[in-house]
Structure 1
């Protein structure tokens, strides 16, 4: 019985250590954003933010690895990046302290084709 308890305690200690290591390497979601909006993570660098969900619309800015408040998402221009994949969904995000909205292709937002928790527009 002692050996079973010892193995269980060792397994728990290893799991706790692994969980602690993962927690320190993953970037935490920000606090202080709009609690009514979903936080999304732009995982790529040099990502264009557009005025509409198409690459033909004016560029409002460029983002790199950052958290943003998502307003909603909808299908727009199909984006194909050979290094990453392809997707036609875009997310409207709050910019510049919450005063402006811009569009980012979901291809560069963590979460897949459609981002869970972000409503459709």
Structure 2
């Protein structure tokens, strides 16, 4: 019983450390932890480093956070401002993401999400 309580306490401590708001700059949990989000949402992988998470689907809206090589729950996607990155290409599709089910929404341009111009499995907004 003591061992079970100890493991439960450790699990809660790890979960508390993993949970963070969009205002922080820490990286999200690895892919295995991303699947613990809302099963009705699609997990997406932001493959690039130092990617801005925005308040709206435009690079001119306020930056909420910066993430690198990060898994997120995708809520939906829509067309927004066209982003041009000489190293990657051009795309006007943006995906609304959450760090974990129920957290604040932020927008990431699909250039930086694995899956192409429009991400399969993520509904339109």
Query: What band does the TM-score fall into relative to the shorter chain?
Result: 0.7 to 0.9
Structure with higher RCO (Cα < 8 A, 6+ apart): 2
- Is the partner of 2:105 in helix, strand or coil? strand
Q: 2:45 aligns with which of 41, 61, 82?
A: 41
Deviations 1:37-59 (CA, angstroms, capped at 9, x unpaired): 00000000000000000001000
Shift of residue 95, structure 1, vs aligned partner: 3.2
TM-score, length basis structure 1: 0.74
Contact preservation (8 Å) 2:72, 2:100: no
TM-score, length basis structure 2: 0.72
**CA distance in 1 between partners of 2:72 and 2:100 (Å):** 10
The answer to whether 1:57 aligns with 2:61 is yes
Alignment partner, residue 121 of structure 2: 117
Structure richer in helix, relative to its length? 1
Alignment partner, residue 18 of structure 2: none
Root-mean-square deviation (Å): 1.5
Alignment of 1:17-96 (within 5 A): 28=31, 30-95=34-99
- Is the partner of 1:107 in helix, strand or coil? helix
Q: Which has more radius of gyration? A: 1
Alignment partner, residue 105 of structure 1: 109
**CA distance in 1 between partners of 2:61 and 2:99 (Å):** 16
**CA distance in 2 between partners of 1:32 and 1:97 (Å):** 9
Structure 1: give runs of 5+ residues left out of the alignment.
1-26
Alignment size in residue pairs: 95
Structure 2: give runs of 5+ residues left out of the alignment.
1-29
